[in-house]
A and B are shown apart, each in its own frame.
Chain A
Amino acid sequence: MRSDPSEYELVAPGSLRAVVSLLASEPGAWLPIAGGTDLMVLYAAGKLSARKLVSIWNLPELRAIEVLPGEIRIGAGCTYTDLRRNDIVAREFPLLASAAAWTGGIANQNRGTLGGNIINASPAADSLPALLVYGATLVLVSARGEREVPYTNFHHGYKKHALAPDELIRTIRLPRNFADYISYSRKVGARRAQAISKVCIAALANVRDGMIKDARIALGSVAPVPLRLTETERLLIGKKPGPQLAQAAAKTVIAQIHPIDDIRSTIQYRAAIAANLIAEFVNALRSQAEEK
């Protein structure tokens, strides 16, 4: 353990109101910590530069999942386990449920939060592509009130996001538009559990009368931020899924992604696998469409 606990403050005011009030009083001085699965790793490695932290773990205002007729509202403090245990998430937002099941092992799923995953903004984060394709809207809260940002506008660069220094993510709103969609997700990592993604995909398609009416595809780990493949979507919409379309779609991937060589994988591999996953998605649409 490479940090000295006596040098750190951690306060737990216990309510959202008290937390945002603290953040407002000294913007940028207090680092919010939820489940700690990212920050405590940095801390143990001696790499946490913040010295004052404010706990947002288990704040009741942040840890509920509210189900409304047109949308669900997931508290940013919900853990992956909370997501996995929720029926509506399992039924209508399976991409999010599967991402939650992939993240770490059970112990880390019990502590890691969706809000934390968003803020940590790792390009390899498992749940973020799902949020993109579900058209998530983030509700941000501060002492100044609330504002909304479409999730697609939230990240503007590697580990950069639109959150102001006195803000927290309060809720993630997901429209309940996708119950009829076919969903496809896959994570490619170094092993079957407890692995950081080399490439991951979250994809949805609305197929009617054998034709793709809508396609929404996002990839993780192939760009500095989670990426919507709008070119590929455009190619697919209005077409019938089949092997030729799958190949054509796969070819559109390389121009949209910016994979890197890093300690986990290589540019060539990521690019090839990303293309393969798109092909697999389109092929899956064909067989699933036939079943409808």
Chain B
Amino acid sequence: MSPPANIPAGQEIRLNVNGQPKTLRVHPMERLLDVLRAELGLTGTKEGCGEGECGSCSVLMDGELVNSCLIPAAQANGATITTIEGLTLDNTLHALQESFLNCNGAQCGICTPGMILASVHLLARHPRPTMEQIREGLSGNLCRCTGYTQILEAVRRASGHVEAP
């Protein structure tokens, strides 16, 4: 087996990831998901489907929830990205992380990073969401383990909202 020719990656991009500025050399069509996982070693963001259906690759890009498997690196140039790793500050868990722990919102855990970021995004826009709003806000994140019940409860509790489900 002979070693392959090395094709140098084509473009320099600058990102802010979890508060840290990063300059990378990438192929412009590399997926943001792969940039995060392979180039930056941030493996908290997961690939579940590669087609923008399951949401396990969700990150926040300039404050908006996006599926990183569908974003070419060149389009993330200049963006501020938050991944699951960026939620914990100084070893202190984000309120949603605490709540997911307390409510058993994470079973196998593979959907959890995306699910938590989707919840962060939801609560930023609807600090006191109704159950309906929580369901809608998370409807792009598939979970196969929980049936969603304990996830919805985790988000409800983190929001401090006491509306009946």
| Residue B36 CB within 8 A of the other chain | no
> Do A6 and B55 have beta carbons less than 8 Å apart?
no
Q: Give the interface size class of chain B.
A: 35 or more
Q: For A105, what are the chain B residues with a Cβ–Cβ distance below 8 Å?
A: 55, 139-141
> Do B140 and A106 have beta carbons less than 8 Å apart?
yes
| Residue B69 CB within 8 A of the other chain | yes
Q: For B67, what are the chain A residues with a Cβ–Cβ distance below 8 Å?
A: 107-108, 111
| Residue B108 CB within 8 A of the other chain | no
Q: Assuming the A-B contacts A44-B50, A105-B55, are A8 and B27 also in contact, with contact meaning beta carbons closer than 8 angstroms in the complex?
A: yes
Q: Which residue in chain A gives the minimum CB-CB distance to B51?
A: A41
Binds A, one of B58-66, B88-96, B97-105, B149-157: B58-66
| B112-128 contacts to A (CB < 8 Å) | 118, 121-122
> Do B71 and A106 have beta carbons less than 8 Å apart?
no
Q: Assuming the A-B contacts A5-B27, A10-B74, A192-B139, are A104 and B34 also in contact, with contact meaning beta carbons closer than 8 angstroms in the complex?
A: no
> Do B66 and A40 have beta carbons less than 8 Å apart?
no
Q: How far is the CA of A16 from the CA of B13 in the complex (A)?
A: 21
| Residue A194 CB within 8 A of the other chain | yes
> Do B28 and A8 have beta carbons less than 8 Å apart?
yes
Q: How far is the CA of A4 from the CA of B65 in the complex (A)?
A: 26
> Do A107 and B58 have beta carbons less than 8 Å apart?
yes
One of B10, B74, B137 near A12 (C-beta < 8 A): B74
Interface string of A201-220 (1 = CB under 8 A from B): 00000000000000000000
One of B29, B50, B64, B139 near A193 (C-beta < 8 A): B139
> Do B50 and A107 have beta carbons less than 8 Å apart?
no
Q: Assuming the A-B contacts A53-B29, A106-B140, A110-B64, are A44 and B51 also in contact, with contact meaning beta carbons closer than 8 angstroms in the complex?
A: yes
Q: How far is the CA of A192 from the CA of B140 in the complex (A)?
A: 11
CB proximity of A236 to chain B, nearest CB, Å: 33
Q: Assuming the A-B contacts A36-B70, A55-B75, A108-B140, are A41 and B28 also in contact, with contact meaning beta carbons closer than 8 angstroms in the complex?
A: no
> Do A10 and B72 have beta carbons less than 8 Å apart?
yes
| Residue A37 CB within 8 A of the other chain | yes
> Do A43 and B74 have beta carbons less than 8 Å apart?
no
One of A43, A81, A107, A194 near B29 (C-beta < 8 A): A43
Leading 5 A-B pairs by shortest Cβ distance: A105-B140, A193-B139, A10-B28, A8-B29, A5-B27
Chain B residues with a Cβ under 8 A of chain A: 7, 9-10, 26-31, 34, 50-53, 55, 58, 64-67, 69-72, 74-75, 77, 118, 121-122, 136-137, 139-141
